[in-house]
Chain A
Amino acid sequence: MALKILIVDDSPVMRSFIRKVVGLTGLDVGEIFEAGNGLEALELLGQSWVDLVLTDINMPDMNGEELVQRMEQDELLRSVPVIVVSTDASTNRVKKMMTLGARGYVTKPFPPDVLAMEMERVLEVSHA
């Protein structure tokens, strides 16, 4: 069954870039949804099931940290794997996001294959 993926980033050009990278992974990707912040993402997640969320951290209205927290508090959404895609490479931030519930972390700038490999790893673990 084709994967449904949600891309959360306040930068439209970054969402386009990630969308392209997702298309190059070789994974069977179906619908790709986009949201500009955590609030929009939660609204979308309330309407459609997705298999993977790729989210930035620094966003207006609701950042990626709160999004991951809110997903973890939800009985259904906590099973959806989240990969953080952020410029913040600090050890503290990576640890915090993983503790909150993120399953993967990719630091910008990244070559397309790095995100592709992280997606494959996270989806493999989640479906094992």
Chain B
Amino acid sequence: MPEPMPEPMPEPMPERNLDALLDTVVATVLETMFFAETSGETSEESDAASPRLAAALTFRGSPSGELALSITTAAMRPLAAGFLGEDEADLPERQVGEMACELANMLCGSMVSHLETQMSFDLGSPLLMSPEVALAPRAGRTARKSWAIDRGTLTVVLSLDAGA
């Protein structure tokens, strides 16, 4: 009886591709759903003192991992207003927080769909958390970028589980 052939190992995606993918996905989601755009890459420290909202969610599939974001609260408000077609002044804090979760959800779904176009995946529910927890370093491969946006910054971290 011949030995079964081992499954070929998937080739890991080059690091720089993940960075480029983050750029593409963030630009597309902001433009399509929030009628907004980034003003280019920036450093995380550029807006570190401002109050921030953070959200994260896990995804299971091939690959599995987590996407986390941290965004200046003042920057999330106009994004939420643009998305919902509401006046910014009428938005309760709760809704701005829900919007940060939905932004994380859309970025994550979009990222994973680009990473794996054939196989489906399962997304967890996005949760609001402290920026320190959301952006804490993870094991495995990670892409991390910050962009300047209207009234603040947006930082997104994509972590792929070890072996991905």
From the candidates A16, A91, A108, name the one contacting B109 in the complex (CB within 8 A).
A108
Whether A90 contacts B32 by the Cβ 8 Å rule is no
Q: Which residues of A contact B119 (CB under 8 A)?
A: 90, 92
CB contacts under 8 Å to A, within B93-128, are 95, 98-99, 101-102, 105-106, 108-110, 112-113, 116-125
Q: Is B29 an interface residue (CB 8 A)?
A: yes
Q: Which residues of B contact A26 (CB under 8 A)?
A: none
- Of all chain A residues, the one with the shortest Cβ separation from B83 is A17
Q: Is A86 an interface residue (CB 8 A)?
A: yes
Q: Which residues of A contact B123 (CB under 8 A)?
A: 58, 87-88
- Of all chain A residues, the one with the shortest Cβ separation from B97 is A13
From the candidates A60, A90, A109, A110, name the one contacting B118 in the complex (CB within 8 A).
A90
CB contacts under 8 Å to B, within A67-123, are 86-93, 96, 107-111
Q: Is A11 an interface residue (CB 8 A)?
A: yes
CB distance from B90 to the nearest CB of A (A): 12
From the candidates B33, B98, B116, B121, name the one contacting A109 in the complex (CB within 8 A).
B33
**Complex: A13 Cα to B55 Cα, angstroms:** 15
Q: Which residues of A contact B29 (CB under 8 A)?
A: 109
Number of interface residues of B (CB under 8 A): 30
**Complex: A57 Cα to B18 Cα, angstroms:** 25
**Complex: A109 Cα to B105 Cα, angstroms:** 10
Q: Is B80 an interface residue (CB 8 A)?
A: yes
From the candidates A11, A60, A89, name the one contacting B102 in the complex (CB within 8 A).
A11
Whether A111 contacts B32 by the Cβ 8 Å rule is yes
Known contacts A11-B98, A11-B101, A17 near B84 by CB under 8 Å: yes
Q: Which residues of A contact B122 (CB under 8 A)?
A: 58
Whether B109 contacts A88 by the Cβ 8 Å rule is yes
Whether B105 contacts A20 by the Cβ 8 Å rule is no
Q: Which residues of A contact B83 (CB under 8 A)?
A: 13, 17
Whether B106 contacts A13 by the Cβ 8 Å rule is no
Q: Is A27 an interface residue (CB 8 A)?
A: no
Known contacts A20-B84, A90-B117, A14 near B110 by CB under 8 Å: no
Q: Is A12 an interface residue (CB 8 A)?
A: yes
**Complex: A60 Cα to B123 Cα, angstroms:** 11
Q: Is A10 an interface residue (CB 8 A)?
A: yes
Whether B106 contacts A90 by the Cβ 8 Å rule is no
Q: Is B85 an interface residue (CB 8 A)?
A: yes
From the candidates A87, A90, A109, name the one contacting B28 in the complex (CB within 8 A).
A109
Task: Tell me the B residues contacting A by CB distance below 8 Å.
Answer: 28-29, 32-33, 80, 83-85, 95, 98-99, 101-102, 105-106, 108-110, 112-113, 116-125
Q: A10-B125, A88-B113, A89-B110 are in contact. List 5 more A-B contacts (CB 8 A).
A: A11-B101, A13-B102, A16-B84, A90-B121, A96-B120
